Amino acid sequence: MRAWLAKALRRPMAAVVLALIIGFIIGTLALALGGYDPVKGFSYMFTGVFSSTNRIMQVIVDSVPIAMTGLAVAFAGRTGLFNIGAEGQFILGQITGAVIGFYVPMPPILHPLFIILCAFAVGGLYAGFAAWLKNRFNIHEVISTIMLNWIAYYFMIFIVNMKSVKVPGSQHSPEILDTAKINFFHRDFRTTAEGQALSESSPFLRPFIRTDAGYAIIIMLITALLLWLILKYTRLGYELRAVGYNRYAAEFSAMPVKRNALMSMFISGGVAAVGGAMLVMSTSYYITMLGTTEGYGWDGISVALIASNHPIGCVFAGLLYAALKFGGLEIQSRMRAPTEIINIMIGTLVLCIALAPALPRLAERLERKE
């Protein structure tokens, strides 16, 4: 038994599974302490996510932006940089999407592609600036990117607040043109007679019609695959990993350490910004004056942590994270329990995963006691 446990603890997935279990235990305690029936709560949560294909699709749609920020943080992390600035880069991506989506009329297909390219460049340069600060003045990227997050946030408010941008009587920018939207089916299609008939007759198409599902999902998957390929199979990825693991050895081997930091942050920031642009192009359609940031970048840090910086892992970690959030909303609406309870669970989960390096030691201790 002990030996089996010790062996199980050494598996890479052990941390995630264990953290989930502990997360649920803490969630149970939190629900019970709040005077709610935990069994009921979790069954709501479960059915909330799995009771229909629409709901499952919604979780997938929700997972896209945090998977993108997760990928951004993970990629930089693999190369030894901590990109806390995914939040700011994501916001700049949203601004790019909203502005080009409305002000620059273009034919369909080209329009979203152009937005994605621009968002990548904008986010990449923004994050690259943090890397430049590090290279030139030795300013740590954690400090600079946190500051850049606030600049991006207030810049968004500034843009939305401009007379020429804000839609009169609202708190947001104008809705982007239809040519810039990347949903599989236009949102209005749901309510047309034709759309209703199609979603009734085809259970397969229904979740695609009734949610904001779109090409963002595919782009996210391609991004994950690309980043994984770059890291694992290319000279650039090899260099980036070498710098990430041991910048001194990389420097001594004549690798361009500074240029790599710049490259890594550029790609990382670009990915985060594309996430922001895709959110605008598939779900929000405009940017809004917000009292606080939406936190996609922060969620991305948790996602990257859960995935231990593996690009493919980020896809699944994003799904897990989105499912927990979506299920949490269900607990809130069905039981009137505060969302904080689900946030406690997610927090516990992330904390436990951060403790993963302790697991092999725990395993050793178990073996020792035999």
Partner 1 sequence: MKKDSAEYAVEMIGISKSFGHFKALDNVDLRVHTGTIHALLGENGAGKSTLMKILYGLYSGDAGEIKIDGETVDIRNPKQAISHGIGMVHQHFMLVENMTIAENIVLGSEPTKSFGRLDRTMMNDMIRDFGKQYGLEVDPEEVIMDVSVATQQRVEILKALFRGVDILILDEPTAVLTPQEIDSLIVTMRSLVADGKTIIIITHKLKEIMAAADDCTVIRRGELIGTVRVSDVTERDLASMMVGREVRLTTAKDKAKPGERVMEIRNLTVKDARGIPQVRDLSMHVRRGEILAIAGVDGNGQTELIEAITGLRKSESGEILVNGVDIANGMPIDTHNAGIKTIHEDRHKRGLVLEFNVGENFILETYKEKRFSGHGPFISWKKVDDYAERLIEEFDIRPADCSMQPVRELSGGNQQKVIVARTVEQEPDLLIACQPTRGLDVGAIEFVRSALVEQRDQGRAVLLVSFELDEVLDIADRINVIYNGSMVADLDPEETDEQAIGLLMAGGGQ
What DSSP line would sit under 239-269, residue for residue? HHHHHHH-HHHHHHTT--HHHHHHHHHHHHH
Q: DSSP secondary-structure letter at 188?
A: G
Q: How far is the CB of 7 from partner 1 (least distance, A)?
A: 11
Structure tokens at 186: 């236009």
Closer CB to partner 1, 186 or 232, in the complex: 232
Closer CB to partner 1, 154 or 245, in the complex: 245
Q: Are 318 and 70 in contact (CB under 8 A)?
A: yes
Q: How far is the CB of 241 from partner 1 (least distance, A)?
A: 8
Closer CB to partner 1, 202 or 246, in the complex: 246
Q: How far is the CB of 370 from partner 1 (least distance, A)?
A: 9
Closer CB to partner 1, 40 or 258, in the complex: 258
Q: What does the binding site for partner 1 look like in residue numbers (CB under 8 A)?
A: 233-236, 238-239, 241-242, 245-246, 248-254, 256, 368
Q: How far is the CB of 359 from partner 1 (least distance, A)?
A: 17
> What residues are paired with 183 via a beta bridge?
214
Q: How far is the CB of 260 from partner 1 (least distance, A)?
A: 13
Closer CB to partner 1, 40 or 241, in the complex: 241
328-337, long-range: CB < 8 A, 24+ apart: 328/45, 329/48, 330/44, 330/45, 330/47, 330/48, 330/49, 331/31, 331/36, 331/41, 331/44, 331/45, 331/48, 334/44, 334/48, 335/36, 335/37, 335/40, 335/41, 335/44, 337/31, 337/34, 337/36, 337/41
Q: How far is the CB of 270 from partner 1 (least distance, A)?
A: 17
Q: Is 37 helix (H, G, I), strand (E, B) or coil?
A: coil
187, containing H or E segment: none
